[in-house]
Structure 1
């Protein structure tokens, strides 16, 4: 595929902000259907929009839009039916994305995966980025969670940029404005941290859990011309924006013109990730006593939040099985290698709600100290089963290639006569085992009352009575390959469990 947007990969310095609107598959195993693609090319030195492109997309499987009447975004079934298919726009999408820096909100886990799946479905090689900037993870790390869950709509509301349109082109423009606003605040706070961070209602150094004890944000939302000026009309041709009259964005100029600071002299102004990473929020004059007070405030947070989904855990509908891979990495305590599983470049960790317990707490397995290694067996829904079987195949193939002679224990268990009822074993850790303990919560369905369960491997009667067969649990767990005493496999290590209590 030839590029029409400028030379080879070396000269493609623009940042491609892009976003997808999709239809969720109606059956397990079916891929997401792309309903809209939108992108803007941004000058990395001035942070101005140079080009834009957007179009609705007609999925090949029309059953995916059979119930699509009108979404709140304004995407209609009629509009999608009259749109080109992905194979018809694939060249244009490839030309926009290939060889450029990709940027977007949560794109590593969602949009990048869907783009690769879409190209694989039509038998074409996917575009490849120079680098990927995921504003969700970047801003969560640098800006802190002062905007709540750090979804695009939440950050836009925080800065009073208007409502998120849930249309691809409008959303990427809003994404750029969000990055600019966050970078501006961070730059100002880093300039006078002892004043501005003290005045701020939310200190980036403090735990997001203390937010509930602080002053709430204003509820008013006003329209911003920067975020609302774009039209929702789809445009299948590339439109140019005259950037010659635009002034250099103050954030880039402030960062690149710091001639008195030696640390800035070697920065490539096209590397926005490095520029933003320079915006450290610190309080160098803070005393040990002040840090102690902050820690005490964090630790005194009264109520647990079992619904706080850690960003590192993927929902099963965010996982593309083609992106699961295994790698041998150095073991931390020596020169030997151990296997790790990844989804793209992130460790493979999953979240699945409402798993049914088939068998409760088992005391069958012991750890190296002789204490029970607690575990439960849960029924596997088809979507999770597919992911675990793919991970199992990837890990087993890598294990064979590494030359091990160990036997392999399957991750998905199918008892004879019950092949259609697959199960898996979730390992529950406690401090007694010497592992990071599993966080366990109980939630009463009727009252939404939440209670944290404390337990150990030698005192787990309360946990045992809570995890009876038939109980539903929301599980956050990591996939940890092991090879021990001539047996190898994947251990599903529960990091957090939320038990549904029905009265």
Structure 2
């Protein structure tokens, strides 16, 4: 089996960089390893393949031919299960039997990696450890990175879970990059392509937020990463405790489109200013249900830790056969700065017109937010604890309702 390889000196490559640019560019080495997986407590992971692509940190151009090599495992048979898995990847017994042992390729791998910026998907938790274990087994010091870029936590934090989980196969499928082949060099190139796609999307969203995201600061359900959800405690000017829910240190705000209204507005109750209390009940997709139920669990635990003894009210309810939530509309201050923005979209023409909530009468509200109508909702996830009742309150910041009449 032929593999692209480069085991020449990297000093020549760096000299060419310096001559071409006037200064020495940082080199980012994207790499990936393929291994056997332990089948028992005494089995260790065995390095079978290494692949790397070396990129200029400024241009992302390849600064050297790719390096890839199979590695002949030391010490007997890998086990029938391992061979079956390897043959699915296109690695045969004959390929590994004819491959060099790690001791023979260690110099080349060391030259590629040492003193460079390492990059890869889950390299901190897997690939880097495999490299260190392999060098330790032959009694040599491992290569050391100048720095490391693990795209797994990076994309989880910045890109979110739009593709479902953050496995490379799902990310590649999301961008239409084809199937992951689980070969080192192929996976490296896929990792680079996925990172470029994510960076492009984030760049466009950052520079054209209203055009592409509609309302900046709000996350789609698939963009919410539960590991970044936290509940913080603060004290008001009257020394009253207040809990808030945040995502990556920012207030959690969510966007979800095409929600069907199950219970329409019925302005029977009034607030302290004599204005009607307004809310609607809408059905939600599974993605939003999973996010809000996880938020519920985190918030309830945090509330108890902070000493609350109130009864917790779940934010997601069952209405018939559907899961639904209640969205609360607010008037805000006298100038409506913080009130719910309402936009009415005509079903036939698609024209959208903004409405001022304080100027809208009950008949119009009942018509727009009638049962069965569809609404796009932008809302904040807020916490309350009042009169021995606690839970999550969803406050509508912007609603785009489709009017059919």
What TM-score, normalized by structure 2, do the two folds share?
Answer: 0.53
Aligned length: 278
Q: Tell me which of 178, 192, 195 is aligned to 1:169.
A: 192
Whole-Å separation in 1 of the counterparts to 2:162 and 2:292: 18
Larger radius of gyration: 2
Whether 1:495 and 2:397 are equivalent positions in the alignment is yes
* Residue in structure 2 matched with residue 376 of structure 1 by the alignment: 280
Q: What is the Cα deviation at residue 307 of structure 1?
A: 7.4
RMSD: 5.1
* Residue in structure 1 matched with residue 148 of structure 2 by the alignment: 100
Whole-Å separation in 1 of the counterparts to 2:373 and 2:326: 15
Whether 1:446 and 2:348 are equivalent positions in the alignment is yes
> Which SS does the other structure have where 1:473 is aligned?
strand
Residue 54 and residue 443 in structure 1: after superposition, are their counterparts in 2 closer, same or farther (change >3 A)? farther
Residue 118 and residue 450 in structure 1: after superposition, are their counterparts in 2 closer, same or farther (change >3 A)? same
Which aligned pairs between 1:84-163 and structure 2 lie closer than 5 A?
Answer: 91-92=126-127, 100=148, 108-110=157-159, 118=167
Residue 404 and residue 47 in structure 1: after superposition, are their counterparts in 2 closer, same or farther (change >3 A)? same
* Residue in structure 2 matched with residue 295 of structure 1 by the alignment: none
Residue 174 and residue 494 in structure 1: after superposition, are their counterparts in 2 closer, same or farther (change >3 A)? closer
Q: Output one character per residue of 1:409-448: Cα deviation in whole Å (capped at 9) or x when no partner.
A: 2211235xx3x32221101112358771111112223322
Q: Tell me which of 328, 338, 341 is aligned to 2:232.
A: 328
Q: What is the Cα deviation at residue 475 of structure 1?
A: 0.8
Whole-Å separation in 1 of the counterparts to 2:248 and 2:367: 39
Q: What is the Cα deviation at residue 341 of structure 1?
A: 1.7
Q: What is the Cα deviation at residue 357 of structure 1?
A: 0.3
* Residue in structure 1 matched with residue 315 of structure 2 by the alignment: 411
* Residue in structure 1 matched with residue 373 of structure 2 by the alignment: 471
Whole-Å separation in 1 of the counterparts to 2:127 and 2:63: 16
Q: What is the Cα deviation at residue 167 of structure 1?
A: 5.8
Q: What is the Cα deviation at residue 468 of structure 1?
A: 0.2
* Residue in structure 1 matched with residue 224 of structure 2 by the alignment: 319
Contact 1:353–1:474 (Cα < 8 Å) also in 2: yes
What TM-score, normalized by structure 1, do the two folds share?
Answer: 0.44
* Structure 2 unmatched runs, 5+: 1-25, 32-50, 69-87, 92-120, 132-144, 169-174, 176-188
Higher mean C-alpha deviation, range 108-117 or range 373-382: 108-117
Contact 2:344–2:353 (Cα < 8 Å) also in 1: yes
Whole-Å separation in 2 of the counterparts to 1:498 and 1:438: 11
Higher mean C-alpha deviation, range 386-395 or range 364-373: 364-373
> Which SS does the other structure have where 2:390 is aligned?
strand
Residue 483 and residue 111 in structure 1: after superposition, are their counterparts in 2 closer, same or farther (change >3 A)? closer
Which aligned pairs between 1:157-306 and structure 2 lie closer than 5 A?
Answer: 168-170=191-193, 172=195
Q: Tell me which of 387, 391, 395 is aligned to 1:485.
A: 387
Q: Tell me which of 309, 312, 320 is aligned to 2:214.
A: 309
* Residue in structure 2 matched with residue 347 of structure 1 by the alignment: 251
Whole-Å separation in 2 of the counterparts to 1:327 and 1:436: 23
Whole-Å separation in 1 of the counterparts to 2:288 and 2:67: 33
Residue 481 and residue 435 in structure 1: after superposition, are their counterparts in 2 closer, same or farther (change >3 A)? farther
Q: Tell me which of 325, 328, 331 is aligned to 1:427.
A: 328
Q: What is the Cα deviation at residue 350 of structure 1?
A: 1.2
Whole-Å separation in 2 of the counterparts to 1:54 and 1:428: 59
